[in-house]
Amino acid sequence: MKIHEYQAKEILKSYGVPVPRGRVAETPEEAGRIAKEMGTETIVVKAQIHAGGRGKGGGVQVVHSAHQAQNAAKKILGTTLVTHQTGPAGRIVRKALIEEGVEIEEELYLGMVVDRSEACPVIMASREGGVEIEKVAAESPEKIIKEWISPVTGLRPFHPNKIGFGLGLDLGQVGKMRGILSGLYRAFIGKDCLLAEINPLVLTKGGDLIALDAKMNFDDNGLFRHKEIAALRDLNEEDPLEIEASKYNLNYIKLNGNVGCMVNGAGLAMATMDIIKVAGADPANFLDVGGGATAEMVKNGFEILMTDKDVKVVLINIFGGILRCDTLAEGVTEAVSEVKVKVPVVVRLEGTNVEEGRRILNESGLNFIVAQGMKEAAEKVVEALKRQ
Amino acid sequence: MSILVDEKTRVVVQGITGNEGMFHARQMVKYGTKVVAGVTPGKGGQDIDEVPVFNSVTEAVTNTGANASAIFVPPAFAADAILEAADSGISLIVCLTEGIPTLEMVIVRAYLKEKGINLIGPNTPGIISPGKCKIGVMAGYIHQPGTIGIISRSGTLTYEVVDQLTKRGLGQSTAVGIGGDQIIGLNFVDLLALFEKDAGTEAVIMIGEIGGTAEEEAARFIEEHVHKPVLAFIAGLTAPPGRRMGHAGAIISGGKGTAKEKMEALEKASVKVVRNPALVGEEMEGILKSRSAHRA
Interface of B with A in 171-210 (CB under 8 A): 180, 182-183, 207, 209-210
Nearest beta carbon to residue B238 from set A151, A277, A374: A277
Q: Evaluate if residue A328 carries a pLDDT over 90.
A: no
Q: Is residue A254 within 8 angstroms of chain B, CB to CB?
A: no
- Contact assignment for A119 to B238 by CB distance below 8 Å: no
- The domain that holds B235 is classified in CATH as 3.40.50.261
CB burial string B173-182: b at 16+ within 10 A, e below? bbbbbbbbbb
pLDDT, mean over chain A: 93
Interface of B with A in 113-152 (CB under 8 A): 125, 137-139, 141-142, 152
Q: What number is the average pLDDT over the span B73-92?
A: 97
CA distances from A119 to A103, A115, B105, B122, B127 (A): 39, 6, 8, 14, 22
Nearest beta carbon to residue B207 from set A255, A267, A283: A267
A166-180, A292-306, B273-287: least confident range? A292-306
Indicate whether B40 and B66 sit together in one domain: yes
Taking CB atoms and an 8 Å cutoff, what residues of chain B touch A219? 101-103, 248
Q: What number is the average pLDDT over the span B8-23?
A: 96
Question: How long a stretch of residues is chain B?
Answer: 296
By 3-state DSSP, what share of chain A in percent is helix, strand and coil, each rounded to 5?
Answer: 40, 25, 35
Q: Is residue A259 within 8 angstroms of chain B, CB to CB?
A: no
Q: Evaluate if residue A352 carries a pLDDT over 90.
A: no
Indicate whether B94 and B15 sit together in one domain: yes
Q: How far is A273 from chain B (nearest CA, A)?
A: 6
Q: Is residue B30 within 8 angstroms of chain A, CB to CB?
A: no
- Taking alpha carbons only, the member of B39, B30, B35, B33 closest to residue B6 is B33
Q: At what angle do helices B102-115 and B75-87 cross, to 10 degrees?
A: 10
Indicate whether B144 and B245 sit together in one domain: yes
- Contact assignment for A267 to B152 by CB distance below 8 Å: yes
| Final residue before a domain boundary, out of B120, B148, B183 | B120
Q: Count the domains in chain B.
A: 2
Size of interface A-B (CB pairs under 8 A): 180
Which pLDDT belongs to residue B272?
97
Taking CB atoms and an 8 Å cutoff, what residues of chain B touch A249? none
Q: Evaluate if residue B127 carries a pLDDT over 90.
A: yes
B125 within a domain of the structure (yes/no):
no
Interface of A with B in 67-126 (CB under 8 A): 85, 114, 116-117, 119-121
Choosing from A109, A128, A147, A185, which is the catalytic residue?
Answer: A109
B126 within a domain of the structure (yes/no):
no
Q: In sequence order, what are the residues at sequence separation of 6 or more whose Cβ sits closer than 8 angstroms to the Cβ of residue A188? A: A112, A121, A196
Q: Is residue A306 within 8 angstroms of chain B, CB to CB?
A: no
Structural domain boundaries, residue B288:
138-295
- Taking alpha carbons only, the member of A27, A4, A34, A12 closest to residue A198 is A12
CA distances from A384 to A332, A350, B140 (A): 19, 21, 35
Taking CB atoms and an 8 Å cutoff, what residues of chain A touch B243? 253, 286
Indicate whether B95 and B152 sit together in one domain: no
Contact A295, A327 (CB under 8 A): yes
The whole-angstrom separation of Cα A155 and Cα A142 is: 23
Confidence at A302, pLDDT banded by 50, 70, 90: confident
Nearest beta carbon to residue B246 from set A114, A282, A288: A288
| Final residue before a domain boundary, out of B88, B120, B152 | B120
Pairing status of strand B145-152 against strand B272-273 = unpaired
Q: Which tens digit of pLDDT belongs to each residue from A187-224?
A: 999 999 999 999 999 999 999 999 999 999 999 999 99
CA distances from A175 to A160, A164, A170 (A): 8, 8, 9
Indicate whether B151 and B253 sit together in one domain: yes
Indicate whether B151 and B288 sit together in one domain: yes
Q: What number is the average pLDDT over the span A271-283?
A: 96
Indicate whether B41 and B147 sit together in one domain: no
The whole-angstrom separation of Cα A31 and Cα A24 is: 8
The larger pLDDT score, comparing residue A130 to residue B35, is at B35
Specify whether A248 is catalytic. Answer: no
Q: In sequence order, what are the residues at sequence separation of 6 or more whose Cβ sits closer than 8 angstroms to the Cβ of residue A370? A: A346, A347, A348, A358, A361, A362
Nearest beta carbon to residue B239 from set A151, A270, A278: A270
Question: How long a stretch of residues is chain A?
Answer: 388
B129 within a domain of the structure (yes/no):
no
The whole-angstrom separation of Cα B203 and Cα B232 is: 11
Q: In sequence order, what are the residues at sequence separation of 6 or more whose Cβ sits closer than 8 angstroms to the Cβ of residue A225? A: A192, B76, B101
Q: What number is the average pLDDT over the span B283-291?
A: 93
Taking CB atoms and an 8 Å cutoff, what residues of chain B touch A287? none
Taking CB atoms and an 8 Å cutoff, what residues of chain B touch A253? 240, 243, 245
- Taking alpha carbons only, the member of B118, B139, B155, B162 closest to residue B247 is B155
Q: Which chain A residue lies closest to B75 (C-alpha atoms)?
A: A221
Nearest beta carbon to residue A134 from set B138, B163, B255: B255
Q: Which tens digit of pLDDT belongs to each residue from B212-246?
A: 999 999 999 999 999 999 999 999 999 998 889 98
The whole-angstrom separation of Cα B293 and Cα A334 is: 51
User: Residue A80: beta bridge partners?
Assistant: A92
- Contact assignment for B278 to A275 by CB distance below 8 Å: yes
Indicate whether B179 and B290 sit together in one domain: yes
Domains of chain A in sequence order: 1-20+103-238 (3.30.470.20), 21-101 (3.30.1490.20), 239-387 (3.40.50.261)
The whole-angstrom separation of Cα A320 and Cα A91 is: 39
CA distances from A263 to A195, B71, B219 (A): 30, 26, 29
DSSP characters over chain B: --SS-STT-EEEEETTTSHHHHHHHHHHHHHT-EEEEEE-TT-TT-EETTEEEESSHHHHHHHH---EEEE---HHHHHHHHHHHHHTT-SEEEE--S---HHHHHHHHHHHHHHT-EEE-SS--EEEETTTEEEESS-GGG--EEEEEEEES-SHHHHHHHHHHHHTT--EEEEEE--SSSS-SS-HHHHHHHHHH-TT--EEEEEEESSSSHHHHHHHHHHHH--S-EEEEEE-TTPPTT---SSTT---BTTBS-HHHHHHHHHHTT-EE-SSGGGHHHHHHHHHHHHHHHH-
Taking CB atoms and an 8 Å cutoff, what residues of chain B touch A245? none
Taking CB atoms and an 8 Å cutoff, what residues of chain A touch B237? 274, 277
Cα-to-chain-centroid distance, residue A310 = 23
- The domain that holds B66 is classified in CATH as 3.40.50.720
Indicate whether B211 and B268 sit together in one domain: yes
Q: Evaluate if residue B296 carries a pLDDT over 70.
A: no
